[in-house]
Copies of this chain bind each other. A is one copy, B any other.
Amino acid sequence: MSSNSFGKIFTVTTFGESHGPAIGCVIDGCPPGLAIDESEFRNDLDRRATGKSRHTSQRREADDVEILSGVYEGRTTGTPIALLIRNTDQRSKDYGDIVNTFRPGHADYSYWQKYGIRDPRGGGRSSARETTMRVAAAVIAKKWLAERHGVRVRGYLAQLGEIAPQGFDWAAVEQNPFFWPHAAQVPALEKAMDALRKSGDSVGARVNVVADGVPPGWGEPIYGKLDGDLAAALMSINAVKGVEIGDGFAAVAQRGSEHRDEMSPAGFASNHAGGILGGISTGQAVTASIALKPTSSILIPGHSVNLAGEPVEVVTKGRHDPCVGIRATPIAEAMMALVLMDHALRHRAQCGDVGEVSPRLA
């Protein structure tokens, strides 16, 4: 059925294939009166873009966003906002040899089994190219959340293969191409990436996302919980295999006396819960973490089958991206922003723009 839309009230519908004429999205339900112009998409699209550094694959596109509707004289009107990006760097020829082959670890086989037809050019619809429009749509969500509620959504790379950060500084994150929170490790990361590239292999990654300023009360029991919706949103990112909220899997080995976040008039004493209890925000920072699998397109040959069911050997040619997880940081931020935006509107639908409920803890 129709599953290319995200969000119940602030709804983003994306379309487009990796090597089709264009990708785009329609944002429906945006509050009217928000100032927005085409230049505002630049920063986050650049952060996400392949080609940003030598450590991510080399598709180089301007990715200029055109606003087709929903904005009049620089302000949203409440009608659907359509955004369009033309695909200029299609290079279909690179993919000619995979028309009859199912690449291991890719969606080739599952799409084929589902639809009986498949657009093989650059992965078609299953390419991470689609996430460009999530990032674009989230630019609007981030802006509204910031202006209206003071919410700030930020992410960083929390693990690269087996390398974990040895320090943490938000200021460092945007200063290196890895979104890494500890500047001193950047040379080591570069070295590790170079070694990977040389070996033709790839590694996985972990990305953390944090939203500050979320007021208490967002999220809905039972099947629209804020953490449930975040899990779906983050798991829908290409290559993601796991999602944690707050302490996540570490909670398995914890004691109740350790995990439960005690409260006092001064606020919560800790944030093991990741800012969500019973599916509803508590007013603390909302924290999530995701696991990304290693890139499946590698230079090391692998076994597969072709359309006729015969055994074949597959080797990826062309672009090779030793860690797709690196550029997942802005995408994860985008998905968290879209979830929060939707829940901000859902909350006021049912509960209105009510005043503060006492007591309110920090």
Contacts and interface: CB of A to CB of B under 8 A. Distances in A.
A155 to B, nearest CB: 15
A254 B204 contact: yes
Interface string A1-32: 11111111111011111001111101011111
A269 interface: yes
A218 B349 CA distance: 13
B124 A280 contact: no
Nearest to A206: B252
A351 interface: yes
Interface in A234-280: 234-236, 241-265, 269, 272-274, 276-280
A295 interface: yes
Contacts of A2: 7-11, 28-29, 80
Nearest to A313: B262
A78 B245 contact: no
- Which of A10, A219, A230, A259 has the largest count of B CB atoms less than 10 A from its CB? A259
Interface stretch (A45-53, A114-122, A165-173, A182-190): A114-122
Nearest to A230: B235
A149 to B, nearest CB: 12
A62 interface: no
Interface string A205-231: 110000000001111111111011111
A4 B360 contact: no
A359 B305 CA distance: 8
Interface residues of A, number: 164
A80 B201 contact: no
Contacts of A281: 110
A92 to B, nearest CB: 11
A106 B278 contact: yes
A150 interface: no
A334 interface: no
A41 to B, nearest CB: 16
A37 interface: no
Contacts of A235: 225, 227-228, 230-232, 243, 245
A96 to B, nearest CB: 13
Interface string A288-302: 000111111110101
Interface string A141-166: 00000000000000000010110000
A116 B251 contact: no
A348 interface: yes
A239 to B, nearest CB: 8
B72 A119 contact: yes
* Chain A to chain B: the 4 pairs with minimum beta-carbon distance, closest first: A107-B278, A3-B224, A105-B260, A309-B359
13 contacts: A2-B8, A3-B221, A3-B346, A16-B80, A79-B119, A104-B261, A105-B277, A109-B277, A228-B236, A231-B232, A242-B251, A249-B249, A250-B291
Given A1-B346, A203-B254, A250-B291, 11 more contacts: A22-B68, A32-B117, A77-B125, A79-B124, A110-B219, A110-B276, A114-B218, A235-B243, A256-B300, A260-B296, A264-B304
